[in-house]
Amino acid sequence: MLETLLEHFQGTPLSLWGPFFLLLLCGLGLPLPEDIVLITAGMLGVIDGHSWIKVSVFMYLGVLAGDSAIFYAGRRFGVGLLKAAWFQRFLPAAKQVRVVEFYAKHGAKGLFIGRFLPGLRAPIFFSAGSLNVSYLKFLFYDGLAAIISVPVFVWLGHWLWLKFADDFAAMEHTLSRTHTYTLWATVAIVVLLVAGAWLWKRRASGTR
């Protein structure tokens, strides 16, 4: 998949816009790993002379655009779409129940956590829109989560190309190892942030 994306976008005007639109489609449910798109974007940035920061900002906007699209689909079509037979092929009733329970348990913070749950991300964001959650609140939590994950994977792609541009087999081998470590590191950061916020809230409530 990585090699295919590079072949299609390398050396073309789509080196930035290609991954951007793929991220937009990922937000709408395209079954393509978002992290692979981000890693590819990092590699293309090196090839075409774009800085890591520029690529990260561009991909960050693509992620938020995709997430916002599914949020506004929920706002526009709401509960009626969830009951449609054709839509339930994409989002079965059992998964809808899981999303409602998840959102009831975590509230707005579930939007932050949902960014790291690929199988439930789109349903969670769609449900938030249908439940009339404030868009600014949605954008805050989703943007906070994306600002953790997006630069990490873009940087990984940037580093891999600089180190293994002449040896694609070694690049794929290294990616298979570092990808897992990167995922766990991102999860660890999220857990620490959530735990820190919970402790801060508990301490603040105890001092009142």
Three-class secondary structure of residue 202 per DSSP: helix
Kindly report the average pLDDT of the chain as a whole number.
Answer: 79
Which pLDDT score is estimated for 89?
65
Which residues are within 8 A (CB) of 43 and not within 5 positions of it... i.e. 6 or more apart?
Answer: 6, 157, 158, 160, 161
The residue with greater pLDDT, 71 or 169, is 71
Which pLDDT score is estimated for 117?
74
Give residue-wise pLDDT tens across range 157-167. 898 888 887 77
d(C-alpha 116, C-alpha 112), whole Å: 8
DSSP 91: S
In this predicted structure, the answer to whether residue 120 has a pLDDT above a threshold of 80 is: no
In this predicted structure, the answer to whether residue 208 has a pLDDT above a threshold of 60 is: no
- Provide the domain count of the chain: 1
Expressed as residue numbers, the domain containing 7 is: 2-163+170-206
Q: Residue 100 burial (CB < 10 Å; 0-12/13-18/19+)?
A: middle
CA atoms within 13 A on the CB side of 25: 11
The residue with greater pLDDT, 122 or 90, is 122
The residue with greater pLDDT, 154 or 182, is 154
Compute the average pLDDT of residues 178-189: 66
Which pLDDT score is estimated for 121?
80
**Among the ranges 34-43, 83-92, 105-114, 123-132, which has the highest mean pLDDT value?**
34-43
How many other CB atoms are there within 10 angstroms of residue 95's CB atom?
14
Which pLDDT score is estimated for 35?
86
